[in-house]
Amino acid sequence: MKPDMILKQTNQLIDITKQADQEYNNRRETKDKGDFYTEVKPFANHAHSILAEWKDAASDYLINQPKKNIHQNQIAATAENIELIVVQCFFPETSYKRFKSYIQSSLYVLEQLSTILKGH
């Protein structure tokens, strides 16, 4: 996959991660759980469809063009974290500290990759 396509998907994942963070903040305020079939599943499926392709493409890119500040194992961990947060964001009882940690680490890796790809 071309770097510009990976960049596009990376930016989509940044938006999804920020959207999940906002959703979680709203759910914590209202204490309202998301409906699985009308809210959780569509959001998770949308993220998963992008993640499946992005994970392999970004990993391959880093294998072929290694970078100092980001490694292929961070891509796999970020994909796993995003899969968790797109579901957990709809449940206010999710651990605040753990959720925010997933958000922070995911955004860090995504933004690092985005910066690298923009310079490519």
Per-residue pLDDT of 15-29, as tens digits, reads 999 999 999 999 999
Distance CA 81, CA 62 (A): 19
Return the domain boundaries, the chain: 3-118
Q: How confident is the model at residue 119 (pLDDT cuts 50, 70, 90)?
A: confident
Does 1 have pLDDT greater than 90?
Answer: no
Chain centre distance of CA 41 = 16
pLDDT at position 22: 98
Rounded CA separation 117/32 (Å): 38
Name the fold adopted by 3-118. Four Helix Bundle (Hemerythrin (Met), subunit A) (1.20.120)
pLDDT (tens digit, 9 = 90+) per residue, 51-107? 999 999 999 999 999 999 999 999 999 999 999 999 999 999 999 999 999 999 999
| Model confidence, pTM | 0.95
